[in-house]
Structure 1
Amino acid sequence: MQNPNLTRRRMIAITATALGSTLASGARFARAQDAFRWHGSALGAQVSMEIYHHDRAEAERLARDCLLDVRRMEQQFSLYRPDSAICTLNRTGILVAPDPEMVALLKQSLIFSDLTGGAFDPTVQPLWRLYADHFASERPDPEGPSQDRLADVLTKVGRHGVQVGDDRIALTNRGAAITLNGIAQGFATDRVVEKLRKAGLTTTLVDMGEIRAIGSRPGGAAWRIGLADPDRPGAITERIDLIDRAVATTAGAGFRFDAAGRFTHLFDPRTGLSPSLYRTVSVVAPTATEADALSTAFSLMAVRQIQEIVASRPNVLVHMIDSEGALVACGA
């Protein structure tokens, strides 16, 4: 299991510059002239909602209901909770009568794994364990784990070792384990958005670690989102506009096992290594689930491969900063 004191999957902040409110410790309900803003903590990150609703009490109720849903999803997807469904699956290799949301998210994970040729792979958790144990040991080899240990762990990795059915989820490779940290925040964001849409909301910004907009800002302007620079705290690389779309950002700098930054939380499931193709990858997509999964996968893929996938996905845009600091954009 990942150590919650080390990091969450992504420490790169996606700053919603439209919000502008200072986060408080714990949950906080703030009142604004036209908006109801909620800030708190969930899914290992600071989260927020900006809701425009004529009834402030109803907006507050909706925010609390959404938070309850997110807490319930944490109980399914969190590697930080020993009693979560995912920890039970990793420990026993099987889940009987799994929660429908666990089934839905795993099925989505396997779809994106197939789409990206295995670059997105929920079974890379054994690689995290390998590197965490290696660099937590006394005088770890700066070159990383031995080739023999890496080769052994790679036998446990591979999406074909996951069987997902409505009544049963199983890991067929001995020692296999999954992580949903590359997609769960996007999935939770979409679930919250679905709930708010069903309640009739048409102007809302949801940030559950990934950001998704419902409609535009009051007056019709787009939500303006600032993408944080992973190497310069507080700096923004660029700003993008969102209307009825989502954005997610992934960067190796989100967590580094070693001081040199050669080994990060981004694992290539084919080699077990951490490529440094890009400083940061941001994906704009119709849903936060898609943006989240693709930003993870694209961090491990060549530009040509990314372009081929983007060409097949409606309304997907990619903003990347390569290892030399150059901005690369894909999509219309």
Structure 2
Amino acid sequence: MKWLVLLIVLVAFGRTPTESHPGAETPVVSLEGEAQGTTYHIKYVDERQRNFKKPVDSLLTEIDLCLSTYRPDSEISQFNRSDSHRFLRPYFYPVLKKSEDVYRATNGAFDPTVKPLVDAYELGKKSRDLWLPNVDSLLQYVGFQYISYDAVSVKKLKKNVRLDFNALAQGYTVDVLAVFLESKGIDRYMVEVGGEVRCRGERSPGQWWKVGIESPVRPGGLQTSVRMANRSMATSGNYRNFYRQNGEIFGHIINPKTGFSKPDALLSATVFARDAMTADAYATAFLVMGLQETQRFLSKQPDLDAYLIYKAETGSLQTMATDGIREFIR
């Protein structure tokens, strides 16, 4: 549902429904498939060896019918074409509420009303037509202050405002699937959708889940790996999905304040949080904020950890890990 830096999950996702590992008292159940324009992988320990693929796929379909901007029949698409919408499924409100929380915390660096600008960017990338002259006229429709909502419905306070949850919907999807597993009594799992990850418990006694972070200069290559348990993780980067026009480079993560994205020293932001939706949203916001503002922000946020990859003034690649995650980085 959004472009992102794909995390390299180091656990071998086999195609067999169950697999045994040394030291594991119970075989690991493995599920995988396609959803939201990407893939998903789920691993969990279950003494009953239950296969939850069918209900997982049903949940993924329901989330798409609510939050996918690529489906004209989704709830968010219906809202974008109208002035108001009464929620039909339980997924719209939590994502809208989290969007507002991160919008306010980042002083507008994260804003789900950015869709008019995202559409202009994508059209410009596809057609190669100049789209920057349209930015000023489109910015008038960007701003969370033009949205009013409660737990039942959402409405526009200004016509032509449109929502786009692609910057946090995959993280939220991971959380929904994790909560589903927990409702079935599963307390050791890894859920990954499109690179967003949530883990609980150990994979096997004494062995944590292990996840890799892609190198921004070696596509498909590994920058580092992280040991994880009882945390969520999401990565965003502007180094792959960009295009040049009239000698200028534009990234796909749009700054909702300026209407476009310009290169910054920060190449990749991996965020660690209690839930994947929070990690997903802040990873996007940090790419908008840039390196220095992100570092200042993190110094005041004890509930967030991050691993940043950036380019130094000398041109060399540098990394920074916050204190809470440093010992788990390889």
TM-score range, shorter chain: 0.7 to 0.9
Percent identical pairs in the alignment equals: 24
1:274 counterpart SS class: coil
Q: 1:254 to 1:38 in 2, by over 3 A?
A: farther
Q: CA RMSD in A?
A: 2.0
2:242 counterpart SS class: coil
1:67 counterpart SS class: helix
**Residues 4 and 235 in structure 2, CA contact (< 8 A), matched pair in contact too:** no
2:211 to 215, 221, 225: 225
- The aligned residue for residue 216 of structure 1 is 202
2:141 counterpart SS class: coil
2:251 to 256, 264, 268: 264
- The aligned residue for residue 24 of structure 2 is none
2:104 to 81, 104, 114: 114
- The aligned residue for residue 25 of structure 1 is none
**Residues 255 and 264 in structure 1, CA contact (< 8 A), matched pair in contact too:** yes
**Residues 49 and 63 in structure 1, CA contact (< 8 A), matched pair in contact too:** no
1:145 to 117, 132, 136: 132
The amino acid across from 1:211 in the alignment is: V
Deviation, structure 1 residue 198: 2.0
Show the 5 A alignment for 1:198-217: 198-209=183-194, 210-217=196-203
- Unpaired segments of 5 or more residues in structure 1? 1-7, 23-27
2:234 counterpart SS class: strand
The amino acid across from 1:246 in the alignment is: S
How many angstroms apart in 2 are the aligned matches of 1:86 and 1:271? 24
**Residues 87 and 93 in structure 2, CA contact (< 8 A), matched pair in contact too:** no
2:261 to 245, 259, 274: 274
The amino acid across from 1:169 in the alignment is: V
**Residues 35 and 53 in structure 1, CA contact (< 8 A), matched pair in contact too:** yes
- Unpaired segments of 5 or more residues in structure 2? 21-26, 325-330
- The aligned residue for residue 194 of structure 1 is 179
- The aligned residue for residue 21 of structure 1 is 13
How many angstroms apart in 1 are the aligned matches of 2:277 and 2:290? 21
Q: 1:194 to 1:240 in 2, by over 3 A?
A: same
Alignment length, in residue pairs?
311
How many angstroms apart in 2 are the aligned matches of 1:21 and 1:167? 39
1:237 to 209, 223, 229: 223
1:91 to 58, 81, 96: 81
Deviation, structure 1 residue 254: 4.7
**Residues 216 and 222 in structure 1, CA contact (< 8 A), matched pair in contact too:** yes
Q: 1:180 to 1:234 in 2, by over 3 A?
A: same
The amino acid across from 2:322 in the alignment is: C
Deviation, structure 1 residue 253: 3.2
2:322 matches 1:327: no
The amino acid across from 1:256 in the alignment is: F
Q: Which runs of 4+ in 1 moved over 4 A?
A: none
Show the 5 A alignment for 1:24-39: 30-33=17-20, 34-39=27-32
Deviation, structure 1 residue 244: 0.5
Residues 274-306 of structure 1 deviation map (CA, whole Å, 9 limit, x = unaligned)? 132221110111110111011000111144533
How many angstroms apart in 1 are the aligned matches of 2:103 and 2:193? 23
Relative to its length, the structure with more strand (as a share) is 2
2:289 matches 1:301: yes
Residues 216-250 of structure 1 deviation map (CA, whole Å, 9 limit, x = unaligned)? 12113221111112342220111111110011000
Taking structure 1 as the reference length, the TM-score comes to 0.87
**Residues 250 and 263 in structure 2, CA contact (< 8 A), matched pair in contact too:** no
1:326 counterpart SS class: strand
Deviation, structure 1 residue 312: 4.3
